């Protein structure tokens, strides 16, 4: 299956062993999209690598940039202005909503429902318009900077964003009526490809895939970074809403609920921004970024879960070694076990429910 099958969500290949329509196992065969991004970091320098972070997860690029910036800032002891921290959260949470819209809409498309995908893209386009007004780009943003962000809020951004949130919050219920409560959609996902809590932890699943199995872990809450410790939000977990805890539906449902929490976070950030000085969005980092010798590990909660940045400095102008751990890569490891005994058509549901994005797998 693949590497150009429409339901593999990118250039992925699966070697499927079947007995008729029943799978004995499906083995991921990765490497079709490897671009050597971590090696590139050693050549282009600390600031020069920032645009490359957007290529690790092009569906939710903001958080990757934030994670890399946090790693360099930690290594150099840079304190980011509070206003920039809130702007980062606003950008990342808007991006999380747009990513989950793609995940939910494309899962519906994989199951045969084309209309919800169009509705999801309609709302995502509104977010793209907002992010374009913020940083000039709609997909690979290059908005984060070592020490802050590239732009302050443009005129009218808060008002337009609040208008969108007021429109979008009730739309989630409409979306649920359209897709979530659809009988065919429920039957295709409920009780299918169940990942137990033990397997989710053992295989290193993160984000909605981990929380869908009932594990209440979120880096924003459990290992707080940026200003998340100052904000209030809940952590949705799988509860067997329509079948078993940890099935395809629970992983889908966690993403739907996370969009509601992102709305809360953005509203809180706007309230916090009102008391902060306009234009104070960058720390002083100097013309040449040259961290001292050392190594750091920073973790952020990306749309696909716990993204870890390990950075080693030898005192030069470029990293000695950079490593990025992503949620899609670890999600691939569980597919071989979970696929055993599933129908061939259920592999599409499993892949879609894991929300795999190919560049996060290969990098």
Residue 358's pLDDT is 83
- The answer on pLDDT for 14 being more than 80 is yes
The one-character DSSP state at 36 is -
Question: What is the number of alpha carbons within 13 Å of residue 314 lying toward its C-beta?
Answer: 8
Q: How sure is the predictor about 6, in pLDDT bands with cuts at 50, 70 and 90? A: low
Q: What is the pLDDT of residues 319-332, one digit of tens each?
A: 999 999 998 888 88
* Structure tokens given for 100: 């989950």
CATH topology of domain 34-324: Cytochrome-c3 Hydrogenase; chain B (1.10.645)
Question: What average pLDDT does range 19-36 have in this prediction?
Answer: 88
**CA–CA dist 268, 246 (Å, integer):** 31
Task: Give the H or E element holding residue 120.
Answer: helix 115-135
CB 7 within 8 A of CB 351: yes
* Structure tokens given for 363: 């990098």
Question: What average pLDDT does range 163-177 have in this prediction?
Answer: 93
Residue 8's pLDDT is 65
Report CA-CA distances (Å) from 161 to 65, 130, 330: 22, 7, 34
CB 2 within 8 A of CB 13: yes
- The answer on pLDDT for 5 being more than 70 is no
* Structure tokens given for 2: 């693949």
Q: How sure is the predictor about 29, in pLDDT bands with cuts at 50, 70 and 90? A: confident
CB 41 within 8 A of CB 56: no
Angle at 133 between CA 130 and CA 134, to 5 degrees: 90
Residue 345's pLDDT is 86
In order, the DSSP letters of 323-344 are EEE-HHHHHHHHHHHHTTT-BH
Please state the length of the chain. 363
Residue 7's pLDDT is 63
Q: How sure is the predictor about 286, in pLDDT bands with cuts at 50, 70 and 90? A: confident
Cβ atoms within 10 Å, residue 300: 25
Average pLDDT, the chain: 91
Residue 91's pLDDT is 95
Q: Kindly tell me the burial class for residue 19, based on how many C-beta atoms sit within 10 Å of its own C-beta (0-12, 13-18, 19 or more).
A: exposed
Q: What is the pLDDT of residues 40-51, one digit of tens each?
A: 999 999 999 999
Q: pLDDT exceeding 90 applies to what percent of the chain?
A: 68
Buried b or exposed e, range 51-67, using 16+ CB within 10 angstroms: ebbbbbbbbbbbbbbbb
Q: What is the pLDDT of residues 276-285, one digit of tens each?
A: 888 889 998 8
**CA–CA dist 81, 218 (Å, integer):** 24
Q: What is the pLDDT of residues 212-256, one digit of tens each?
A: 999 999 999 999 999 999 999 999 999 888 888 889 999 999 999
Of 206, 189, 286, 297, the closest CA to residue 241 belongs to 189
């Amino acid at each position: 299956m693949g590497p150009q099958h429409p339901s593999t969500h990118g250039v992925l290949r699966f070697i499927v062993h079947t007995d008729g329509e029943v799978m004995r196992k499906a083995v991921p065969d990765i490497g079709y999209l490897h671009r050597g991004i971590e090696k590139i970091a050693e050549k282009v320098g600390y600031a020069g690598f920032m645009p490359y972070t957007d290529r690790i997860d092009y569906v939710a690029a903001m958080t990757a940039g934030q994670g890399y910036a946090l790693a360099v800032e930690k290594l150099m002891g840079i304190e980011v202005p509070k206003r920039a921290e809130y702007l980062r959260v606003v950008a990342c949470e808007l991006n999380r909503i747009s990513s989950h819209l793609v995940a939910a809409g494309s899962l519906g498309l994989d199951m045969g429902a084309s209309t919800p995908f169009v509705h999801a893209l309609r709302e995502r386009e509104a977010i793209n318009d907002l992010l374009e007004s913020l940083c000039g780009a709609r997909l690979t943003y290059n908005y984060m900077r070592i020490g802050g962000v590239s732009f302050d809020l443009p005129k009218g951004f808060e008002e337009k964003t609040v208008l969108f949130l007021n429109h979008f919050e009730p739309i989630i219920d409409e979306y649920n009526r359209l897709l979530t409560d659809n009988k065919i959609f429920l039957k295709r996902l409920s009780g299918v490809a169940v990942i137990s809590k033990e397997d989710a932890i053992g295989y290193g699943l993160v984000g909605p895939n981990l929380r869908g199995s009932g594990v209440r872990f979120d880096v924003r809450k459990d290992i707080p970074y940026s200003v998340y410790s100052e904000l209030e939000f809940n952590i949705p977990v799988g509860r067997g809403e329509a079948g078993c805890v940890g099935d395809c539906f629970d992983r889908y449902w966690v993403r739907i609920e996370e969009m509601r929490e992102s709305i809360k976070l953005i509203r809180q950030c706007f309230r916090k921004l009102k008391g902060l000085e306009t234009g104070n969005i960058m720390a002083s980092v100097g013309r040449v970024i040259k961290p001292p010798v050392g190594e750091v590990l920073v973790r952020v909660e990306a749309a696909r879960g716990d993204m870890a940045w390990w950075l080693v400095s030898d005192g030069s102008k470029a990293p000695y070694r950079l490593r990025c751990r992503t949620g899609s890569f670890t999600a691939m490891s569980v597919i071989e076990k979970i696929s055993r005994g599933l129908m061939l058509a259920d592999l599409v549901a499993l892949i879609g429910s894991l929300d795999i994005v190919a560049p996060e797998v290969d990098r």
